[in-house]
Amino acid sequence: MSVPIPQLADKPQHIFIWGMGLMGASLALRLKEAGHRVSGAVRSSKSQQTLTQMGLTDILMGDTECIQALEHADILVLGLNLNDCYRVLSLIAAHPTLGERLAILDLCSTKAEIMAHVRTYYPHLRFIGTHPMAGKEIQGPQAAERTLYENAAVFITPPEHLHAAIAQDLTRLAADIWSIAGAHTATINAVEHDRMMAAVSHGLHLNACLIALLSASGAGKNIDLSPAAGSYRDMTRIVQSSGKMWAEIIHSNRQNTSAWLRALADAANELATGIDQQTVDIAVLFEKAQAVRTQVMRT
């Protein structure tokens, strides 16, 4: 019989974070500060050295060493991209004692694919999905901050195939972890989560790329001063994110993201026609947009 789901309020837990870049290392700093034992895994000795200098000294490299360390851990946090999450989950599933004892959560930006993957291939694992809405354009442990998740939103996608009591305990555990990090949590269905992310994050990153590319024609190449001001910087800041990372995210949520982009194209064409025909009220457009922005931002 599997052991109970660990609860952070009962006693300090041993939390292993596999993948300690910006997101994983930032969470590690906060959990360690709260009195929990934190260990983890990285790919390079440079990252290991960086984390050691930050006070995170129990950092390993290599699958064998990590699996051995997990024998003594209570909770596994996957701070990895989707494909690497799948690889680690397969390693865990190959060790039945780990699958019976570990509570596992991820930090991935899409949820439907990984929840379906676990349900299909590793239904016995005590896995719950989480997605923290925080980050930077700069990646790696050197960019980690203990306050990264302060007042951030984190979406939790409970497993629908596990026993209700186990899913409830996992949800409580995930909420407690993110509460320690200073975040606010909400539970959501994985499919609904991905549809929402296409509209407020994934599509926006691609739109920012298009804005940057389209701006080439108006870049003022024959003058020394940049024509870009605050609006351009704000709307294109996110193009400095990792293209490799975003390629995987977009692929995982491609149907929702492509649907959003087509809706954007239709809206842009309609607006352009209205401008040509002088039938669009720009002031009203701004009023409506401001109202929606306030609603989405919950301000």
What sign for the dihedral angle of Cα 253, 259, 263, 269?
positive
Question: Is the separation of the CB atoms in 23 and 132 below 8 Å?
Answer: yes
CA-CA-CA-CA dihedral for 27, 31, 37, 39, to nearest 10: 10
Q: Does 30 have pLDDT greater than 90?
A: yes
Same domain, residue pair 157 and 207? no
Is 48 inside any structural domain? yes
Rounded Cα distance, 26 and 49, in Å = 16
Is 9 inside any structural domain? no
Q: Does 257 have pLDDT greater than 60?
A: yes
- The pLDDT of residue 226 is 81
Kindly report which listed range (22-31, 81-90, 132-141, 223-232) carries the lowest average pLDDT score: 223-232
- The pLDDT of residue 224 is 76
Question: Is the separation of the CB atoms in 125 and 93 below 8 Å?
Answer: yes
Same domain, residue pair 93 and 107? yes
pLDDT tens figures, 107-148: 999 999 999 999 999 999 999 999 999 987 788 899 999 999
Single out the residue in 146, 167, 188 at which a domain terminates. 188
Strand partners, 128: 105
Same domain, residue pair 161 and 225? no
pLDDT tens figures, 260-282: 999 999 999 999 999 999 999 99
Is 18 inside any structural domain? yes
Question: What's the pLDDT band for 35 if we cut at 50, 70, 90?
Answer: very high
Mean pLDDT across 157-182: 96
Tell which wins on pLDDT, 299 or 149.
Answer: 149
Same domain, residue pair 223 and 140? no
Same domain, residue pair 109 and 83? yes
- The pLDDT of residue 220 is 64
The domain that contains 280 carries what CATH number?
1.10.3660.10
Is 235 inside any structural domain? yes
Is 2 inside any structural domain? no
Closest CA relative to residue 131, chosen from 50, 92, 186: 186
Same domain, residue pair 88 and 214? no
Mean pLDDT across 63-71: 94
Same domain, residue pair 153 and 215? no
Work out how many domains the chain is built from and give that number: 2
- The pLDDT of residue 135 is 82
- The pLDDT of residue 137 is 77
Domain that holds residue 136: 14-188
pLDDT tens figures, 185-234: 999 999 999 999 999 999 999 999 999 999 988 766 777 778 888 899 99
pLDDT tens figures, 40-58: 999 999 999 999 999 999 9
Same domain, residue pair 197 and 59? no
The domain that contains 93 carries what CATH number?
3.40.50.720
Mean pLDDT computed over every residue of the chain: 94
Q: Does 298 have pLDDT greater than 70?
A: yes
Is 4 inside any structural domain? no
Global confidence as pTM: 0.92
Roughly how many angstroms between the first and final C-alpha of the chain, as a whole number?
47
Is 57 inside any structural domain? yes
Same domain, residue pair 176 and 256? no
- The pLDDT of residue 299 is 62
Question: What's the pLDDT band for 2 if we cut at 50, 70, 90?
Answer: low
Residue 30 sits at φ, ψ, to 5 deg, of: -70, -40
Question: Is the separation of the CB atoms in 77 and 18 below 8 Å?
Answer: yes
DSSP state at residue 237: G
Single out the residue in 169, 188, 207 at which a domain terminates. 188
Single out the residue in 125, 156, 188 at which a domain terminates. 188
Mean pLDDT across 151-168: 96
Same domain, residue pair 119 and 254? no
Burial of 53 (0-12, 13-18, 19+ CB in 10 A): exposed
Chain position carrying tokens 């004692």: 97
- The pLDDT of residue 163 is 94
Question: What's the pLDDT band for 168 if we cut at 50, 70, 90?
Answer: very high
Rounded Cα distance, 251 and 159, in Å = 22
Two structure tokens written together for 23: 């997101």
Same domain, residue pair 155 and 199? no
Amino acid found at 204: L
Same domain, residue pair 207 and 225? yes
89 CB contacts (<8 Å, ≥6 apart)? Answer: 78, 104, 117, 118, 121, 122, 125, 127
Closest CA relative to residue 108, chosen from 24, 188, 48: 24
Is 204 inside any structural domain? yes
Mean pLDDT across 52-73: 94
Question: What's the pLDDT band for 96 if we cut at 50, 70, 90?
Answer: confident
Mean pLDDT across 68-92: 96
Rounded Cα distance, 65 and 185, in Å = 33
